[in-house]
Amino acid sequence: MPNLDHDFHHDDFDFAHEEGAKLIDRTYSATSYAKDVWNNFKKNKGALIGIVIIIFIIFMAIVGPGMNDFTYKQIHGGQECLVPRVPGLEKLGIFDGYHNGKDQYAEQDAKDVYYWFGSDTQGRDIWTRVWSGTRVSLIIALAAVVIDIVIGMVYGLVSGFFGGMIDSIMQRFAEILNGIPTLVIVTLLGMVLPAGIVSIIFALMLTGWIGMERIARAQVLKVKEQEFVLSSRTLGAGKFRIIFSEILPNIMGQVIVTSMFSIPNAIFLEAYLSFLGLGVPAPMASLGSLVSDGYKSMTTFPHILIIPVIVMAVLMLCFNLFADGLRDAFDPKMLNK
Amino acid sequence: MKKYILQRVLISLATLFVILLVLFILMDLMPGTPFNDEKLTQAQKDLLYAKYGLDKPVLTRFFLYCKNMLKGDLGVSYAINKNFAVSGMVKDRLGISIAVGAMAMTIGTIAGLLLGILAALNHNSWIDNLCSAISVFGVSIPSYVCALLLCYFIAYRLNWLPILYNVEQPFISLILPAVALSVSPTANIARFTRSEMIDVMNSDYILLVESKGVKDWKMIIGHVLRNTLIPVITVMGPILVNLLTGSSVIEKIFGIPGIGRLMITAIQENDYNVTIACAFVYSLMYIVTMLFVDILYGVIDPRIRIAKEED
């Protein structure tokens, strides 16, 4: 407890003198919103690592399948289930083509052949298959984002902006659609439609946009009563001008973040469908179909399973880290949590 | 409040009705028939169709099915267990699926709460970072990848637990599937608990409690946790719903005779009644969960209730 019984004397205090002290008014240059977001994003190490790995995986998905002489459907009789062998690394005792102490490549009479990720049960090169499978999974993910933005955002914008009867009807409709479990509808559509990327995308399209629609609507409701919208309306702007050039830019941050979170979800659903045997048709590969193929020979040749599992897990992890970082960057309140 | 609940229930019923209709139409569009025996002639097939009432138009069948369903009759199986009542088949398998789901949810809730509370109490320390890392991994990695890894390392390599479901030791064989399934609830609950708890701890009323001199642990249990748990309860619904999606793949990997696997077999064999019943049970669980969560939201958070009533 400090001593409060204290008498002040007249010489306890001095007058403040401005002796040569200059008043410095610090000014900061104005930063744009986009730059703010980027600055916040840069501070998040996880998100940066995420985006770097995503770019690397996209790059590999584009050039990877062309990096050796194999194609994704070429079957090499007699070279089944080879374990990975990489030139250079084989001297270090890893990736040297030995399985249970035997040189598989010598046994299969394939001394000059290198399967960087090994070969699968039908003698196909896993390296090529993994990267072309990643390509398929990424295409599905991209489609999911486009669907999310095109259908979900527009639906939410219209529903939130017009309100009243239109909003009520649109919301009830979305609620009913949302009540159908994705699992059920996707499985059944997988059966009805011919197998292929288009069918998977269509199945995703049916219910995938509802999360985005809700977020977009909530954001519109928040923004539409603000003064700048009112002023724009007073100046005679039409409804569509207000929606697309006044409200949309203000909710874009949330929309982008939400669409990023739908990517891992789409990759997961594709993998789920493949696992049930409803994925892309046979010689084609996707990450999901590679995992479900590898699962069948998991106990004897684990590399067939482990490699696509690692690529898929890393991809999903990085998209999650990236989306997390993006969300924090758009909403600085979340930063220090 | 009554009006709000009534509205939710009506929407849920409408949804169920629509789902059933969609299921019927999709079944009708599905290629193939349930009677795949090559020895059957066209005339015999027609007879079978007539016997099971499959020759009638979709809508007639639909309303007949609805009428029977209200009496608890889900029709008979055409292909999997010939002429066996579907309601019995579903009942047998539902129990196992619910057991796995309940185990997973229990593990997930306990582990998630512990991780989240631990992280929030040690905010911005290495413990916090570790817990966050675990939860990011858990959110990102699909449950069946975890299942495959657990299967390979714990069941196959170490041989601690059985790989496949064993009818004689149901509990032991359900441990691995439940753990695999619990990864994503754990991560989600941990993340949510952590951010919610940090919010609560930084709030003015906790500052007031603290300045009144309430002891640390008493404050955390009596004031912080109570206010954290309310919102956490509301996210458990969606998490439970997500669990349903994961469970059918898990059932396939571990060979558990649950409802998800029954549905997949039924779809592959074109067994209409079984498929519809399974899909419907899934939808029912899903919708009841969502309805429950929505009403809970209204009860817990008066702001939502009022906003909805004004609509």
Which tens digit of pLDDT belongs to each residue from A195-205? 777 777 887 77
Quick check: is A32 in a domain? no
CA-to-CA distance for B196 and B229, rounded, in angstroms?
9
- CB contacts of B264 in chain A (<8 Å) are 187, 276
The mean pLDDT of A209-213, rounded to a whole number, is 82
Burial B64-97 (b: 16+ CB within 10 A, else e): ebeeebeeeebbbbbbbeeeebbbebbeebbebb
Cβ atoms of B8 and B295 within 8 Å: the answer is yes
Domain count, chain A: 1
Cβ atoms of B209 and B223 within 8 Å: the answer is yes
Per-residue confidence in pLDDT tens, chain B, 311 aa:
777 788 888 888 888 888 888 877 877 776 666 666 666 677 777 777 777 767 777 777 778 777 777 777 777 777 676 767 777 777 878 888 888 888 888 898 899 888 888 888 887 788 888 888 888 888 877 777 788 888 777 777 777 777 777 667 777 777 888 888 888 888 888 888 888 888 888 888 888 888 887 777 777 777 787 777 777 777 777 777 777 666 777 887 787 888 877 887 777 777 777 888 888 887 788 788 778 877 776 676 655 555 555 54
Q: What is the CATH classification number for the domain harbouring A139?
A: 1.10.3720.10
Cβ atoms of B234 and B293 within 8 Å: the answer is yes
Q: What is chain B's alpha carbon radius of gyration, rounded to the nearest angstrom?
A: 24
Q: How far is B245 from chain A (nearest CA, A)?
A: 6
Q: Which of A276, A312, A304, A296 is nearest to A140 (CA)?
A: A312
Q: Cβ contact (<8 Å) for B286 and A298?
A: no
CA-to-CA distance for B14 and B11, rounded, in angstroms?
5
Quick check: is A103 in a domain? no
ipTM passes above 0.90:
no
φ, ψ of residue A75 to 5 degrees: the values are: -105, 125
Quick check: is A179 in a domain? yes
Quick check: is A204 in a domain? yes
Determine what percent of chain A is predicted with pLDDT higher than 90: 0
* pLDDT over 50 at A116, yes or no: yes
Q: How far is B279 from chain A (nearest CA, A)?
A: 6
Quick check: is A266 in a domain? yes
| Nearest CB to B152; choose among A178, A184, A302 | A302
What pTM value is reported for the model? 0.75
Return the pLDDT at B34. 66
**Residue labelled with tokens 């009144």:** B212
Quick check: is A288 in a domain? yes
Q: Which residue of A has its CA nearest to B194?
A: A337
Range of the domain at A311: 38-67+131-334
CA-to-CA distance for A334 and A69, rounded, in angstroms?
49
CA-to-CA distance for B27 and B29, rounded, in angstroms?
5
* pLDDT over 80 at A303, yes or no: no
Q: Cβ contact (<8 Å) for B264 and A192?
A: no
* pLDDT over 60 at A331, yes or no: yes
Q: Which of A99, A101, A52 is nearest to A322 (CA)?
A: A52
A98 sits in which H/E element: strand A98-99
Distance of CA B270 to CAs B42, B64, B276, Å?
18, 20, 10
Q: Cβ contact (<8 Å) for A179 and B290?
A: yes
φ, ψ of residue A16 to 5 degrees: the values are: -80, 130
Return the pLDDT at B222. 75
Cβ atoms of A304 and A126 within 8 Å: the answer is yes
Quick check: is A268 in a domain? yes
Residue A23 is encoded by which pair of tokens?
A: 């008043």
| Nearest CB to B145; choose among A192, A264, A313 | A313
Q: Cβ contact (<8 Å) for B136 and A317?
A: yes
Return the pLDDT at B266. 79
* pLDDT over 50 at A317, yes or no: yes
Q: Which of A35, A48, A32 is nearest to A324 (CA)?
A: A48
Quick check: is A109 in a domain? no
